[in-house]
Chains A and B, each alone.
Chain A
Amino acid sequence: MFEKTVSELADDLQNKVISSVELTQAYLDRIQQLDGNYNSYITITPELALQQAKLADERIAAGNAEILTGIPLAQKDIFCTNGVKTSCGSKMLDNFIAPYDATVIHKFHQAGTVMLGKTNMDEFAMGSSNETSFYGAVKNPWNTETVPGGSSGGSAAAVAAHLAPAATGTDTGGSIRQPAALCNLTGLKPTYGRVSRYGMIAFASSLDQAGPMTRTAKDAAILLNAMAGFDEKDSTCANKAVPDYTAELNNSLAGLKIGLPKEYFEKGMDAEVAKSIEEAIDVYKKAGAEIIEVSLPNSSLSVPAYYVVAPAECSSNLSRFDGVRFGYRCENPADLEDLYKRSRGEAFGDEVKRRIMIGTYALSSGFYDAYYIKAQKIRQLISQDFKEAFEKVDVIMGPTTPTTAFKIGEKSNDPVTMYLSDIYTIAVNLAGLPGMSIPAGLANNMPVGLQIIGNYFDESRLLNVAHQFQTLTDWHTKSPEGLR
């Protein structure tokens, strides 16, 4: 049962092979039993889950269920959940019970899903390994000595370890795609503005986007159907009709134009990873796709530009965590300044502090033009590169990450090396494009992710291209060895 996809479980629920309460209880038991090995959840919500499952069963019985009604999901702890602790992986919000639901959570409630709990993550989504969490590192179910990736590492590990059939993630520079790649999942970061950011604790507002983390492209399509759409509470949310993302899954690959950016294949990629990617491209070629070399000449600038824009925005976004109204407050503050300094000093972790400092510096008077404005110009150049590429091709493909999962502790003392693990994913956020990572093979028994980048609001095509690959290969069905 735990190997089943969302789509298969939905069938079982509709056909009353199993009830949502039974399914939910089974997952809750399994989490209880096994999550000690992975640390993928920060909060488990058994009472709420069973209550939602009961309501879902009633809805199914009454015949007004939707496809996701009764499906248990794990929600990244970045989404505000009414009445449930919402920590964002930080000591700062360890005591924060959100008084409202994020729009994404609200939409899932309406669809009738069940929330198993809130998943672990890098603190305030800042990290690529899930080691910056206040709640401890998450372990990759494929090898518990390695990281699951980040920042949505808890969601990735939970789905990979079969502690949830699917989960939500958020992606600011690769935080859905990179952990999906490292844990053998299908992860989709939609076009910026496709999914509401309301109630999703902001890291870098102009880059953040929520999306599904699933076993299959079909499941990703089903989840995206529920998540996407205009929200008047988010000014940056696109007021654009939401298509049925499952509708085009079965389109043929014949004639599909796939662009391979030459810059992505030049250097830095692990040889084993490169081999898997080449084999995956061959699968497409055999299915009738046309492979075209493209160039993204400014891609080498994406990491530096990102590490100006994202910290700049986060330095401002995280100012509200001041110990005054909610969250952590230091003991016995002497005065206002002491309250600010110690509350923030004691509750933020090193990586968060590092980025607040970088961002504060980049926005400072005298440096603003040299850093922030320059980075925004680079962002324009990067978008322009993609625009030109998409005049020639339908999708762009390449590796999601330069290597497979690295060891816990291996890069945690070397921020720049850590930042470079997102080298292939970051440009997509800077341009606001949709991107996916799908399982594309194993290198030394560890998963390799193929990244598929689409044009704006072309999620249907991405899902189609991913789904077709999954009908031709079985990488996505592989589970970690020894998984019970």
Chain B
Amino acid sequence: MEWEVVIGLEIHAQLATKSKIFSGASTAYGAKPNTQACAVDLGLPGVLPVVNKEAVAMGAKFGLAVGAQVAKRSVFDRKNYFYPDSPKGYQISQLYFPIVEHGSIDIELENGKTKTIGITRAHLEEDAGKSLHEDFEGMTGIDLNRAGTPLIEIVSEPDMRSAKEAVAYMRKIHSLVQYLEICDGNMQEGSFRCDANISVRPVDQKEFGTRAEIKNINSFRFVEKAINHEIERQINIIEDGGKIVQETRLYDADKDETRSMRSKENENDYRYFPDPDLLPIELDDDYIQTIKDTLPELPHEKKQRFIAEHGLNSIDADVLTAQKSISDFFEATVKASDGEAKLSANWMQGEVMSALNKNNIDINNCPISPELLGGMIKRIADKTISGKIAKTVFEAMWNNEGSADEIIEKKGLKQVTDTGLIEKVIDEIIANNAGQVEQYRNGKEQVFGFFVGQTMKATQGKANPQQVNEILKAKLKG
């Protein structure tokens, strides 16, 4: 039987506010346990939450960026459950009236087409603390530094039909929240994570199959693996005559498998009700307009501009706008290279990306600044160095040996464009390789490469390749 996969994602993005969503404590990552938890975060008797206006603004920003309705009135609810890292015994969230509803975002499919993924809703809520099971023998430690960190939970429609689409969607949202500067996107630190709802159905069936939810997947790679694994599991069960049970499953990246956390029967009854400690969030048209006015250029807008302004093709523009940090780096490089957009695009997608990947470095920590890279590209453009020599310069810059000009000077890498000099070298090579000359003249054109290689070798690769070609051709004709 042929199966269709149905996937919806719930993405949790930590909002990049300085303080927590309901208290003044800092949200900075990595502090000693419980040093960033104030009376409110600890849920001490008598304390009350006060909403962080910045978190509300960020929620509204997201809504506007995905073309959604930003609610004029949204309400915080309490989600009641007992767990040691939930200090109040409830999480403040938004169930009945979320701040954002009915948005969408486009993803690019592998066949080059775009697909619109619906965003059902996005709501504000507080993160929980962390339970530390490893550090204490026979006990559990509680770290409440993360408790109360603002989150926006972004819930998609069940619109995705493969793990690849789910990853494309997740990447799109990941890119967007960074563009909006509402989330740092750091997945290792848990700033951006997702739950996936997955079901399968026969291709001709209208109703959705029974779904399983996979919790807390924190990398793009794991999302794809976890979903594919889950699809396989479900299809195997059904094909063996079994039934899928609605349940929550946990993905174990080490074993590459999902395992059951709890079934629907054991689901908590969260007893949601409006939090009486907080007033509804009321946003008027003026406020929403103000937020709209401060929206930065969004990825799809930037892509169009890159095509128009820098003459990039659609694929290059996609790659270079996928992440805000990359697009910023690219534009700074173009500027530093006096407008060499095509060369900048090639270098960004080639040497820069591969060096970053190889060394597992984020673009924000790239040892070569856009100014340095642009400076080097300028030297390629004005033919001071060839593209090949530029690779040597790039490597030297990567190792902090200075600017392109300094390196070219120090290492004597300046391109040789003196026709007389090149001719002299070529004459010598022709004189010393009579056999190859004869082969070439007898029609064995492959031998041409040998002469180019010899010439470059003799000039330590500095001879202008185009001149070498021209002179060689003329002289070999005889």
Contact = CB atoms under 8 A, between A and B. Distances in A.
Contacts of A232: 50
Interface in A314-332: 315-316, 318-322, 324-327
A236 B82 contact: no
Interface string B45-88: 11111110000000000000000000000000010101010011
Contacts of A198: 46-48
B278 interface: yes
Interface in A18-38: none
A93 B45 contact: yes
B363 to A, nearest CB: 41
Interface stretch (A1-9, A50-58, A360-368): A360-368
Interface of A: 79-80, 86, 88, 93, 96, 98-100, 102, 197-202, 204-206, 232-236, 312-313, 315-316, 318-322, 324-327, 336, 340, 360, 363-365, 368, 372
B276 interface: yes
Nearest to A360: B271
A363 B48 contact: no
Contacts of B279: 235-236
Given A79-B46, A236-B279, 8 more contacts: A88-B45, A198-B46, A206-B276, A236-B276, A316-B80, A326-B45, A336-B84, A340-B82
Given A316-B80, A320-B89, A340-B82, A86 B48 contact: no
Question: Can you list the 10 inter-chain pairs with the closest CB atoms, starting with the nearest?
Answer: A319-B89, A363-B271, A206-B276, A205-B276, A199-B46, A320-B43, A201-B45, A80-B46, A320-B88, A201-B46
21 contacts: A96-B45, A199-B47, A206-B276, A234-B48, A235-B49, A236-B48, A236-B278, A236-B279, A315-B80, A316-B78, A316-B89, A319-B90, A320-B88, A322-B84, A324-B87, A324-B142, A340-B82, A360-B271, A363-B272, A364-B269, A368-B271
B43 A235 contact: no
Contacts of B272: 363, 368
Contact of B277 (A96, A102, A205, A315): A205
Given A316-B78, A363-B271, A200 B46 contact: yes
A324 B89 CA distance: 11
Contacts of A197: 48
Contacts, number: 101
A93 B44 CA distance: 11
Nearest to B267: A365
B43 A325 contact: yes
B271 A235 contact: no
B42 interface: yes
B220 interface: no
A189 B393 CA distance: 79
B273 interface: yes
- Is the interface on chain B under 10, 10 to 19, 20 to 34, or 35 or more residues? 20 to 34
A319 B46 contact: no
The secondary-structure label for the interface of chain A is loop
Nearest to B45: A201
B80 A363 contact: yes
A100 B43 CA distance: 13
Interface of B: 39, 42-51, 78, 80, 82, 84, 87-90, 140, 142, 269, 271-273, 276-279
Contacts of A233: 48, 50
Contacts of B90: 316, 319
Given A100-B39, A363-B80, A364-B271, A320 B48 contact: no
A183 B51 CA distance: 41
Contacts of B273: 312, 316, 363, 368, 372
In this complex, the member of A93, A102, A206, A363 whose beta carbon has the largest number of chain B beta carbons within 10 angstroms is A363
A200 B46 CA distance: 5
A200 B39 CA distance: 13
A202 B273 CA distance: 16
B51 A319 contact: no
B89 to A, nearest CB: 2
A89 to B, nearest CB: 12
A319 B82 contact: yes
In this complex, the member of A100, A312, A319 whose beta carbon has the largest number of chain B beta carbons within 10 angstroms is A319
Contacts of B43: 320, 325
A276 to B, nearest CB: 36
